[in-house]
A = this chain, B = another copy of it.
Amino acid sequence: MRVLSKPPISGRASLSWPRDTKESAFDESWSFNDNNFWLSVFEMYRENIQIKKSEIAVRNLQKIFSATFKISGVKGFQAMSLRDLSLESGISMGGLYSYIGSKNDLASMIEGGLRHHIDLVTNNLVEEGLKPLDSLKAVIFGALYMMERLSPWYYFCFMELKGLPRDKQEKALEIELRFERFVIDSLKRGEQTHMFKCENPDLLASQITAQLQQWHLKPWKFKLKKISLPQYADYCYQSLLNGLDRSSV
């Protein structure tokens, strides 16, 4: 059974939930590494990019996006001038425009890149007949590891949402709603099979969503309190269990 309803993207093998919940297991199962990640970003926008040589393009794309994350993380995307970006990325103003169509386009590319990747992972993800609680655990750990790997992307899309075109805004919000719907469905499925009781699946789901988002919204807090990602993932899952009544089973 697929996690979500959309058909899998062809030409890509189905992924499965990692058997354990270690970070490295996720990287392996989802074949995530810096090289093929940035390459896939380039391929996504290939026809809009004027540079042909993929090594050069990939390298510069990475520079541009990383510089954008850095600057807009400090002063915000709107306050970032393309001269700032040129300086930080080491790419001339003219050069920038062989990668992006416009400044707004750059923001859209970031949103699109993140959503594309999330879609890839969630659409091709195959649940191996997991029980509701295991499924929820997998989705919590999975979401957190995605956020860890793509932290600046998530943060950017959250904070700069308003600067995006309306349709992009809606699609970005849809990701959150889709995640919540999956959690709610799992909760209801668990209730129907009498594994636990859950008084308010809607509120519990949005609680979990809020907790997960903290990981990219307030990384300083976790550094301050010296909480590691696996620790936090465990806590979030525990927090979900605390919201359930499992006394009758």
Interface residue ranges, A against B (CB under 8 Å): 73-76, 78-79, 159, 162-163, 200, 202-203, 206-207, 210-211, 213-214, 218, 221, 225, 227, 232, 235, 239, 242-243
Copies in the complex: 2
The answer for the CA separation of A79 and B77 in the assembled complex, in Å, is: 10
Look across to chain B and name the residue whose beta carbon is closest to the beta carbon of A241.
B242
Instruction: Specify the main secondary structure of chain A where it touches its partner.
Output: helix
Look across to chain B and name the residue whose beta carbon is closest to the beta carbon of A73.
B162
22 A-B pairs with C-beta separation under 8 A: A75-B162, A75-B163, A76-B78, A76-B162, A76-B163, A79-B162, A159-B159, A159-B162, A200-B235, A202-B225, A202-B227, A203-B235, A206-B221, A206-B225, A207-B207, A207-B211, A207-B239, A210-B210, A210-B211, A210-B213, A239-B243, A242-B243
Looking at the assembled complex, report how far the CB atom of A144 sits from the nearest CB atom of chain B, in whole angstroms: 14
Q: Are A79 and B163 in contact (CB under 8 A)?
A: yes
Residues of B within 8 A of A202 (CB): 225, 227
The answer for the CA separation of A84 and B224 in the assembled complex, in Å, is: 40
Residues of B within 8 A of A232 (CB): 203
Looking at the assembled complex, report how far the CB atom of A241 sits from the nearest CB atom of chain B, in whole angstroms: 9
